[in-house]
Amino acid sequence: MSETDRSLSTTPRLFVPGALAAGAAISLDAPQSHYLASVMRRQPGDMVRLFNGRDGEWAARVTAVAKKAVALVAEQQSAPQEQVADLWLCAAPLKKGRIDWLVEKACELGVARLQLVTTQRTVVDKPNLERLGAHLVEAAEQSGRTAVPDLPAPLPLERLLKSWPEGRALIFADEKGGEAMAATLARVPAPAAILIGPEGGFTPDERAAIRAHRGAIALSLGPRILRAETAALAAVAVWQALNGH
């Protein structure tokens, strides 16, 4: 590792919405400025790593520091844009705390999209997408991702199934039994999606509708009933190990 690489690996890493290119001027918002100026105590001349989900990661130099307004200029690309394995996690919204944890870990494990799905037994009506989106950004910042997973509006299960894209495998984690995990996931490359039920599981009608869906693959995650968030992460981690990055 070169001296530059070593110092960059310890520099703060932030998501910014604007375009990144050599010479691009960036103004941070108030919370990020506070973080850099007051928490990380960065000064003009210090380096920061920036990414925006599109242009890779950039080494940027701090040019001005005020409590609520830090300015930087991007100098050179420090990492290319990540090649994201095309895996969606489709999961029912869970209670606060559990869903926050799931969102963070799903981002760390490299999902391309987190699609929330409402089902008959879903207990959380209106998930807070703003809070969940902020967790995705934070997880991308700390895990070195240059892509932030998409977080579209939640969809009822019926609509999700009706609008299912041609060619995307639908891997359905079925606690009542299905095909063995490792051998099955090894033969289901991208584009794929893993569907996980809510705390109370899917209703019999929902299970039947999913199983009847063109191309659905019912998957068993083993003999134990896992919490929804454990099930989601186990399936995503194994899929990534076999097909992803």
Q: Note the residues at the interface with ligand SAM (CB under 6 A).
A: 173-175, 196-197, 199-202, 220-222, 224-228, 231
Q: How far is it, in rounded angstroms, from Cα 209 to Cα 154? A: 19
Q: How far is it, in rounded angstroms, from Cα 50 to Cα 48? A: 6
Cβ neighbours around 91 below 10 Å, total: 26
Nearer to ligand SAM, 62 or 102 (CB): 102
CB of 4 to ligand SAM, least distance (A): 45
CB of 238 to ligand SAM, least distance (A): 12
With 0-12 CB in 10 A as exposed, 13-18 as middle and 19+ as buried, what is 39? exposed
Q: How far is it, in rounded angstroms, from Cα 73 to Cα 62? A: 7
Residue 57 tokens, joined:
């990661």
Nearer to ligand SAM, 141 or 174 (CB): 174
Residue 202 tokens, joined:
């899917």
CB of 189 to ligand SAM, least distance (A): 20
**Phi and psi at residue 241, in whole multiples of 5°?**
-65, -35
Cβ neighbours around 125 below 10 Å, total: 8
Q: How far is it, in rounded angstroms, from Cα 235 to Cα 109? A: 11
Distances (CA, A) of 130 to 44, 89, 133, 178: 31, 18, 5, 35
CB of 227 to ligand SAM, least distance (A): 5
CB of 17 to ligand SAM, least distance (A): 34
Nearer to ligand SAM, 33 or 119 (CB): 119
Amino acid at 153: A
CB of 24 to ligand SAM, least distance (A): 44
Amino acid at 135: H
